[in-house]
Amino acid sequence: MSPSHDVFAALADPTRRTIMREVSERGSATATELAPPLGVTRQAVAKHLAVLADARLVDARREGRETRYRPTPAPLGEAITWMTEIGGAWDERLAALERQVARRRARGSST
């Protein structure tokens, strides 16, 4: 299965990468806990966490009046698998393209 585009989009933002790292380091976190050390508003952190949750990179659970997030890195593994497979396929296709160019040049210079 290929990963959803959301994994890449979610981690394209540097603030979200920082938030993902914080959640991973802490094991779990809420927007209220992360806002002060990151120097951004609780609302901004909550928005970023929601994007990470949509990408399935964190799991959201209500805890009283707050939402607590835990890291669920499986989609990252899927993304890396996808990039390795697709990248390997392109390495082969581009090698074929290089051979094609060499063949055409050899053909061209012989006529």
Closer to another protein by Cβ: residue 64 or 109: 109
- DSSP H or E run through 71: strand 66-71
Residue of 27, 62, 87, 106 interacting with another protein (CB under 8 A): 87
Strand, coil or helix: what is 61?
A: strand
Beta carbon of residue 54, minimum distance to another protein (angstroms, whole number) = 11
Choose the binding region for another protein from 21-29, 46-54, 59-67, 92-100 (rule: CB under 8 A): 92-100
The residue count of the chain comes to 111
Q: DSSP H helical segments within 13-111, as ranges?
A: 14-26, 31-38, 42-54, 74-110
The yes or no reply on residue 63 touching another protein (CB under 8 A) is: no
